[in-house]
Amino acid sequence: DVKVTQSSRYLVKRTGEKVFLECVQDMDHENMFWYRQDPGLGLRLIYFSYDVKMKEKGDIPEGYSVSREKKERFSLILESASTNQTSMYLCASSSLGTSTYEQYFGPGTRLTVT
Amino acid sequence: SQKIEQNSEALNIQEGKTATLTCNYTNYSPAYLQWYRQDPGRGPVFLLLIRENEKEKRKERLKVTFDTTLKQSLFHITASQPADSATYLCARTGAGSYQLTFGKGTKLSVIP
């Protein structure tokens, strides 16, 4: 089974703190994605990566950065957390080999910034 | 931009009936439409995919249709059960693209 894990299920941080969210997948997938999900807004893509050290901006990259030093690991960084970044963060991966690109999601990290 | 819309935020249905969820898209036809299930506090789980040249796809009690004329996909759950209660998301992708654009989801409640 495809497994995508995220470093924390729940996280509480203070405004201005630097926050690291980590995602690991064990399926040797090339593509990895970070989304945030908010009520009424659905899933919105923050960043994605199609290879090690490669990254592309999604729809809402402002206030975030990412790092992909190893194929299996994709980190989301909030440089200076703000209250409007309180959200559910979801990591996903997909394989270039399928041509259909269905995505496999992690369990999510619910981040609260106070 | 390529949009995808799930018109119903919520749908209540009696156990045993067929649940039908709608997904509409704008502009050009996506290469694929995908359907996911999401339980509260969890990540979405892939269920089914249908290609633009397919009319219908089935998997156990699930059926997906794709109508490029209406720019619409329908997702059916036959003989629905309370355990089918969840939010269902549709997503589109274009040919050669691995990015997905998700709809906001429809929350299905199956009432015993």
Q: Return the closest-CA partner of residue A98 out of B49, B19, B29.
A: B49
Tabulate helix, strand, coil % of chain A (nearest 5). 5, 55, 45
CB contact set of A16 (below 8 Å; sequence gap of 6+): A80, A81
Q: Which residues of chain B have pLDDT under 70?
A: 1-2, 95-96
Give the model confidence (pLDDT) of A10-45 as tens digits.
999 999 999 999 999 999 999 999 999 999 888 999
Is A60 within 8 Å of chain B by CB? no
Start-to-end CA distance of chain B, whole Å, equals 41
pLDDT the model gives residue B96: 65
Domains and CATH numbers, chain B: 4-111 (2.60.40.10)
Give the model confidence (pLDDT) of A46-92 as tens digits.
999 999 999 999 999 999 999 999 999 999 999 999 999 999 999 99
Is A31 within 8 Å of chain B by CB? yes
pLDDT the model gives residue B9: 87
Residue A70 contacts residue A82 (beta carbons within 8 Å):
no
Nearest chain A residue to B1 by CA distance is A59
Which chain B residues have a beta carbon less than 8 Å from that of A93?
A: none
Backbone φ and ψ for A93, nearest 5 degrees, come out as -140, 160
Tell me the residue type at A31. N
**Does A96 sit within 8 Å of B46, measured CB to CB?**
no
Domains and CATH numbers, chain A: 4-109 (2.60.40.10)
